[in-house]
A and B are shown apart, each in its own frame.
Chain A
Amino acid sequence: MQVARETTGGVAPPAAASQTGARRVRTLIGATPGERAVTALGLVTGVCMLVTIWAILVAAPVDVVQGMPFRIFYFHVPVAWVTFLAFFIVFVASVAYLWRRDERWDWMARAAAEVGTIFTTVTLITGSLWGRTIWGTWWTWDPRLTTTLILWFIYVGYLMLRSYTGRTASGARTAAVLGIVGFVDVPIDYLSVTWWRSLHPPTTYVQSGLPASAAGTLMFSLFTFTLLFSLLLVLAYQLQRVQTGAEKLRGQAEG
């Protein structure tokens, strides 16, 4: 019973009281009630990805000034959007964890931070490749680039902290504080192009400077990358849940 209570963050359903240990574990392994939904999400994401690749490479118009490298924009912007979304989830989950002390919020924060760090890395790489073709340099200490790099360091630091502290309550509390404080960089990063003089195209460019076919491709790409992020987040969350369950059972077996 103790394991079920712990792995569900202290909220054990009444029916769990009658479950045997093996059945509890089967519930944990056999995964969540939404396993079919995860498979469906994976399939839909895969199909949308294929359509997005076709739209970016074939359907989207070629920019007169920038030429082919402009197509990088169609996945650089969605990946950057997903990055902000991921760190917003880390922020919300961290606040919720400190408030409710429910372990599930901690798993969510940890999962979103991991996926968000991957997407930040991809944002930096694709931005650097676009910058090389348009600005003639791989990197410049532009406000947008610098604040994005700081964001990457904050969440790499977050993941290192999680790895160092293990699955302890004090580690989760410390990480939650870092998840909240670290989020301060997200609005700074987003607004950096308007606050300071920047080489980076402003956000208004996306809102008003695109022809309809380009805007359509961008919107569909945004939708697809959000789906992909959701899929990765669900899998990363499941990983946290199963790893915590295994660690607690191991502790029970040893003790």
Chain B
Amino acid sequence: MGYLVVAFAAVWIGIAGYLGWLALRLRGARAELAAVSELVRESSAEKS
């Protein structure tokens, strides 16, 4: 029974952890994209 519990924990903690990490990276990448796009917009506005 102990091994079953450990195996269950390994599966769910592993997959849930990966899902959470993926969501955090996606949020970070979207924030970075928004910041850089703002930078590009400002610099193109200055040029024009």
Q: Which residues of A contact B (CB under 8 A)?
A: 21-22, 25, 28-29, 68-69, 71-72, 75-76, 79, 115, 118, 121-122, 125-126, 129-130, 132-133, 228, 232, 235-236, 238-239, 242-243, 245-246, 249-250, 252-253
Contacts and interface: CB of A to CB of B under 8 A. Distances in A.
Contacts of A76: 7
14 contacts: A22-B41, A25-B33, A69-B3, A72-B4, A126-B7, A129-B6, A130-B3, A235-B19, A239-B25, A239-B26, A239-B29, A246-B36, A253-B40, A253-B43
A219 B25 CA distance: 32
Contact of A125 (B14, B26, B29, B41): B14
Contacts of A125: 7, 10, 14
Interface residues of B, number: 28
A242 B3 contact: no
Interface of B: 1, 3-4, 6-8, 10-11, 14-15, 18-19, 22-23, 25-26, 29-30, 32-34, 36-37, 39-41, 43-44
Which 3 residue pairs spanning A and B have beta carbons closest together? A25-B37, A246-B33, A242-B29
Contact of B36 (A126, A228, A253): A253
B36 A250 contact: yes
Contacts of B41: 21-22
Given A22-B41, A129-B10, A253-B40, A242 B33 contact: yes
Contacts of B33: 25, 28-29, 242, 245-246, 249
Contacts of B39: 253
A126 B6 CA distance: 9
A242 B36 CA distance: 12
A72 B1 CA distance: 10
A129 B3 contact: yes
Nearest to A26: B37
A18 B19 CA distance: 36
B31 to A, nearest CB: 9
B1 to A, nearest CB: 5
A126 B11 contact: yes
Nearest to A56: B8
Contact of A118 (B7, B18, B32): B18
A129 B40 contact: no
B29 A246 contact: yes
Contacts of B7: 72, 75-76, 125-126, 129-130
Given A239-B25, A246-B36, A249-B36, A29 B30 contact: yes
Contacts of B29: 239, 242-243, 246
A69 B14 CA distance: 19
B12 to A, nearest CB: 8
Given A29-B34, A235-B23, A246-B29, A252 B40 contact: yes
